[in-house]
């Protein structure tokens, strides 16, 4: 596959890294020569210095022989024009654009992106994607990760084993017997910096981050079994009133009754803007790291503190202060994945990786075949893939134990119509089954070959 990526920031470079490792012909286009030099030094890709929506630049990048363009610059208008030119002048088959301005996405203007006007095949709205991810985690209290799969029939959740966790030091085989009436499986354990794919003899230790695949009907009981009986947060403080914060507030207001939201925003003009755009919330103009502002926000009685500022360190420090002042749960947006191993040791309940979420969302639109969705966990190191099995799939009608799976790849659930099956060795995979697969990122190519699904155009 030949692809052009417009934009060399974190999102563009991560997509380039992902696709280049799978031996695709990738060209990254941007005006930022420094970013392009870093990409050139780190990846086996081509780079072109130039304006991403300039026809001459796109031609130099090979748009006339390109299969896919992914426009993810920080300017919506450049992304839209790059896709339009790619379609009108070069006939690029598939076009994906990142669009942040919510006004462009207003349903009143939905015809804008029709094939007759501005033919963009897939629109990625980071604010909507990230706010939905945060909302999912808040809706299942006590989780570090919460991913809804197969039309909400099954969930993948991450939980931290605290010192009072009832199932500590219990072999997983015994755990399965204790809760034999529940459909669940522990599919991965993060112990300090080590990832463990557990067998039946493995026992959970204090501080482990445990990833569980579970029938949604049994989710609350499994959370209780792991000692997480937290109630859904209604008293919420949000630090940072940017587009993600606004999108999250609107989603919370639509779905949670009795909601009390306070926003801490350091910029006075933007605080005024928020007061005009949002209703039924309290806006505090000040610095999250100022104890007086935290006390004015009543952080000690808050049930959730969500740090959405543009600075990782401030988000982390603000979250730690909120915890210290008595807030029950903190959710922290962090762009640099190097901080992710600190989730447990620092006491931060949940870290959100915007680039991992956005890259995963884009990748599920890049792949061909019957992939339903792709999600990243472990700071982007592991993929959660939902795929529908076709009649012609290599693994259709095979028994699980006969599959030659790559190391550390786990088929964690089979969804057959409305039934969730936690697979055993003798279970057969049938056509039209949906599989939930956990795979290390570097094993994705092997999995696609096994499943007869290749990274290509839909």
Judging by beta carbons within 10 Å of its beta carbon (0-12, 13-18, 19+), is residue 241 exposed, middle or buried? buried
Three-state SS at 185: strand
Summary count for the chain: helices (H), strands (E):
14, 22
Residue 114 phi, psi dihedral angles, 5° rounding: -75, 165
Give, in order, the Cα–Cα distances in Å from 135 to each of 32, 340, 384: 34, 19, 19
Nearest to 287 by CA among 318, 323, 311: 318
Contact 40, 18 (CB under 8 A): no
| pLDDT score of 455 | 40
Mean pLDDT of all residues in 40-45:
92
Mean pLDDT of all residues in 355-361:
85
CATH number of the 2-124 domain: 3.40.50.720
- Kindly give, in sequence order, each residue whose CB lies less than 8 Å from that of residue 359, ignoring residues fewer than 6 positions away: 11, 14, 15, 18, 376, 380
Greatest mean pLDDT among 113-117, 126-130, 337-341, 379-383: 126-130
Nearest to 368 by CA among 85, 119, 93, 80: 93
338 vs 216, residue with greater confidence = 216
87, pLDDT greater than 50? yes
366 vs 141, residue with greater confidence = 141
| pLDDT score of 452 | 54
20 vs 449, residue with greater confidence = 20
Tell me the fold of 365-450: Alpha-Beta Plaits (3.30.70)
pLDDT band per the 50, 70, 90 thresholds, residue 260: very high
Mean pLDDT of all residues in 114-129:
85
11 vs 22, residue with greater confidence = 11
pLDDT band per the 50, 70, 90 thresholds, residue 344: low
- 146-150, 286-290, 353-357: segment of lowest average pLDDT: 353-357
Mean pLDDT of all residues in 73-95:
94
Over the stretch 267-315, which tens digit does the pLDDT of each residue have? 999 999 999 999 999 999 999 999 999 999 999 999 999 999 999 999 9
376, pLDDT greater than 90? no
Give the Cα separation of 160 and 343 in Å (integer): 9
Mean pLDDT of all residues in 115-130:
87
Greatest mean pLDDT among 334-338, 384-388, 392-396: 384-388
Q: Write down how long the chain is.
A: 458
CATH number of the 142-225 domain: 3.30.70.1450
2-124 and 142-225: identical CATH topology? no
Nearest to 386 by CA among 442, 447, 312, 334: 447
Rg (CA), the chain: 23
| pLDDT score of 457 | 38
| pLDDT score of 367 | 67
102, pLDDT greater than 90? no
The domain limits of the chain are: 2-124, 142-225, 235-352, 365-450
| pLDDT score of 445 | 67
Nearest to 83 by CA among 97, 73, 72: 97
356 vs 167, residue with greater confidence = 167
Tell me the fold of 235-352: Rossmann fold (3.40.50)
- 160-164, 335-339, 411-415, 427-431: segment of lowest average pLDDT: 335-339
Q: At what angle do helices 126-139 and 354-366 cross, to 10 degrees?
A: 110
Nearest to 381 by CA among 161, 193, 202, 208: 193
| DSSP annotation of 393 | -
């Amino acid at each position: 596959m030949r692809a052009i990526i417009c934009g060399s920031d974190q999102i563009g470079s991560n997509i380039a890294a992902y696709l280049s490792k799978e031996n695709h012909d990738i060209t990254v286009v941007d005006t930022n020569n420094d970013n392009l030099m870093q990409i050139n030094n780190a990846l086996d890709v081509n780079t072109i210095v130039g304006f991403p929506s300039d026809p001459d630049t796109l031609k130099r990048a090979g748009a006339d022989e390109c299969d896919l363009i992914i426009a993810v610059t920080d300017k919506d208008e450049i992304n839209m024009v790059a896709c339009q030119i790619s379609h009108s002048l070069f006939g690029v088959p598939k076009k994906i654009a990142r669009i942040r301005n919510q006004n462009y996405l207003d349903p009143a203007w939905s015809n804008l992106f029709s094939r007759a006007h501005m033919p963009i095949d897939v629109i990625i709205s980071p604010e909507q994607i990230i706010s939905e991810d945060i909302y999912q985690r808040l809706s299942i209290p006590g989780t570090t990760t919460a991913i809804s799969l197969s039309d909400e029939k099954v969930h993948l959740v991450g939980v931290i084993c605290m010192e009072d966790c009832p199932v500590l030091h219990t072999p997983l085989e015994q755990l399965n017997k204790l809760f034999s009436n529940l459909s669940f499986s522990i599919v991965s354990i993060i112990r300090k910096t080590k990832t463990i794919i557990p067998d039946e003899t493995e026992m959970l230790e204090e501080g482990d981050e445990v990833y569980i695949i579970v029938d949604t009907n049994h989710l609350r009981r499994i959370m209780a079994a792991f000692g997480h009986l937290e109630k859904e947060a209604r008293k919420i403080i949000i630090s940072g009133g940017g587009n993600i914060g606004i999108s999250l507030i609107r989603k919370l207001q639509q779905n949670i009754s009795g909601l009390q939201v306070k926003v801490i925003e350091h910029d006075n003009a933007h605080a005024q803007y928020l007061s005009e755009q949002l209703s039924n919330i309290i806006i505090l103009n000040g610095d999250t790291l100022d104890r007086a502002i935290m006390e004015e926000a009543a952080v000690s009685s808050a049930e959730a503190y969500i740090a959405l500022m543009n600075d990782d360190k401030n988000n982390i420090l603000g979250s730690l202060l909120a915890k210290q002042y008595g807030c029950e749960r903190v959710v922290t947006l962090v762009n640099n994945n190097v901080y992710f191993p600190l989730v447990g040791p620092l006491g931060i309940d949940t870290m959100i990786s915007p680039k991992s979420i956005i890259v995963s969302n884009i990748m599920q639109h890049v792949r061909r075949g019957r992939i339903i969705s792709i999600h990243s966990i472990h700071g982007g190191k592991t993929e959660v893939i939902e795929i529908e099995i076709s009649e012609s799939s290599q693994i259709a009608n095979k028994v699980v134990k006969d599959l030659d799976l790559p190391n550390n790849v786990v088929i964690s659930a089979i969804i057959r119509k409305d039934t969730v099956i936690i697979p055993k060795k003798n279970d057969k995979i049938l056509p039209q089954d949906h599989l939930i697969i956990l795979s290390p990122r570097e094993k994705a190519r092997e999995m696609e070959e096994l499943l007869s699904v290749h990274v290509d155009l839909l």
